[in-house]
Amino acid sequence: MFKTLQDKIQKAINVLKGNHQITEINLASSIKEVGRALIDADVNYKIVKKFIKKIKEKSIGKKVLTSLNPRQLIIKIVYDELVTLMGGKNVELNIYKTPFIILICGLQGSGKTSFSSKLSFFLKKKGYSPLLVAADIHRPAAVDQLNFLAKKICVPVFSLEKINSYDHDHIANIVEKSIDYAFDMKKDVVIIDTAGRLAIDEIMMKEIKIIKKHSNPNEILFVIDSMTGQDAINTAKSFYESLNFDGIVMTKLDGDSKGGAAITISSIINKPIKFISNGEKIEDIEIFHPDRIANRIIGMGDIISLVEKVQEQFNEKNTKEIYHKMSKNRFDFNDFLEQIKQIKKIGNIKNIISMIPGVDKYLPQKNREIDNKSFKKMESIIFSMTPYERKNPKILSDISRKKRISKGSGISLDEINFFLKQFKDINKIMKKIKTNSGKDLIKNFISEIFDKRKM
């Protein structure tokens, strides 16, 4: 997420490294590069111009405090302006009545159906009982897709077969009956997935207005594909004029999105981004926090979100057992496999890495694509071991065993040796950690990694 923008802004800020005061001369190069980085990220030129002007006004001639240097001060100023540009503060979904009706709208291909299922999963984890409504009766297999996704998370879907040729009465009937059904089944949240088009047209906007009229939603969320760039702004304006939606959802932030729309859309439309979707998995949904995203962009990471994600999957009893085994030197490859499973549950590895400040600088093969597939080699190596070898890691110093594992997994001997070294390093780090509580485990684990990588 925002990887290219992050690299360019850090490069721009590094121009000021070593100076004792910010002047027009040493600021000029840095500001120019920040501006270029934002324009390359598809941020509107006029917005970039205002952004740069504010940075200049806040920084020129400013004396640096004894605890700061010019680079740190510029980081703070850029961070503050990014937070303001992205809406200032997060605005969470406020479910204040039952059933609470959420209308999902947007163009075709923006990810509305996927997001609807992700939102139902997100709310279910928080203790709500959601109902999904299949109100997209145009796109082939749209209802089937929603049913498929909902089945994975055990959330019911309300739909009606289309009997006659399409008319507006049918879509109104779906919406009204779904709300009656929600009352009968005691569902406290109704999420309506609507149809889209490849572009805004009169038929689509008329239909969405009918759905709004008959559902009387408490919340309207506009879903936009972040990869559409500045076109997303124009689309959002058109929907806002027709629906006056309450919040924005940015999807596909795990792809090749430059991020310009995500940075600017909130300030232009004057509506908050409430959620972001950054992966294909059902759990790849986050509440949008402008301050945390700004931290990621300037390379400061997002430890709060990381800890929250870890805590969602955290099993204190199991983790204490693992750390106890490590302290007694009894941590084996079966335990390691279990830890890989837990990490994969947290979410997309690229997103996790983006939350840890500076970690990408210390990764081998820096330019390699990093995702959950990165664990496949580790798993293949362990699965190629005998049960005895998994329980007794020390015996794998034997070259004949390593050659057999290499042949069985299809992974080179050099990579096997590198993996075994990684395993030893993890053991060394974790032996140092002494804790009695789950929260301390997380805190100390992160601290040890930072110390290890000298961040």
- Is the pLDDT at 28 greater than 80? The verdict is no
Given this model, what pLDDT does residue 328 score? 65
**Residue 427: Cβ within 10 Å count:** 16
Residue ranges making up the domain that contains 81: 3-85
367 domain-assigned: yes
Beta strands in 243-394 (DSSP E): 247-251, 273-277, 285-287
In sequence order, which residues have a C-beta less than 8 Å from that of residue 236 and are 6 or more positions away?
Answer: 222, 224, 248, 265, 268, 269
Domain of 420: which CATH number? 1.10.260.30
Greater pLDDT, 403 or 453: 403
Query: What average pLDDT score do residues 96-119 get?
Result: 92
Among the ranges 45-49, 82-86, 143-147, which has the highest mean pLDDT value? 143-147
Within a domain: 91 = no
For the cut 60, the answer to whether the pLDDT of residue 449 exceeds it is no
Task: Please check the confidence at residue 219 and state whether its pLDDT lies above 90.
Answer: yes
Same domain, 68 and 127: no
Residue 78 to residues 66, 239, 425, Cα–Cα distance (Å): 20, 31, 37
- How confident is the model over 95-118, as a mean pLDDT? 92
Task: Please tell me the distance from the alpha carbon of residue 65 to that of residue 69, in angstroms, as a whole number.
Answer: 7
> 118 and 75, same structural domain?
no
Q: Is residue 333 part of a domain?
A: yes
Report yes or no on 360 lying in a domain: yes
- End-of-domain residue from the set 19, 50, 85: 85
- Looking at the structure, tell me whether residues 66 and 149 fall in a common domain: no
Please write the tens of the pLDDT for every residue from 242-296. Answer: 889 999 998 887 765 567 777 888 888 889 999 988 888 888 888 988 888 888 7
372 has a pLDDT exceeding 70: no
Q: What percent of the chain has pLDDT over 70?
A: 70
Same domain? 381 vs 341: yes
**218 token code pair:** 């408490």
Res 109 pLDDT > 70 = yes
Question: Pairing state of beta strands 189-194 and 219-225?
Answer: unpaired
49-53, 73-77, 292-296: which is most confident: 49-53
pLDDT digits (tens, 9 = 90+) for 327-348: 566 778 888 887 777 666 666 6
pLDDT in the model for residue 371: 52
Decide if 60 is inside a domain. yes
User: Are 348 and 419 found together in one domain?
Assistant: yes
**What are the tens digits of pLDDT across the range 156-183?**
999 886 544 455 678 889 999 999 999 9
Q: 51: domain CATH number?
A: 1.20.120.140
Q: Of 299, 332, 348, at which residue does a domain stop?
A: 299
User: Of all residues in the chain, what percent carry a pLDDT higher than 90?
Assistant: 25
Number of structural domains the chain divides into:
3
- Answer yes or no: is 92 within a domain: no
Burial track 117-136 (b if 16+ CB lie within 10 A, e otherwise) = bbbbbbbeeeebbbbbbbbb
Q: Residue 273 domain-assigned?
A: yes
DSSP assigned state of 62: P
Shared-domain flag, residues 143 and 269: yes
Query: Whole-angstrom Cα distance, residue 354 to residue 358?
Result: 8
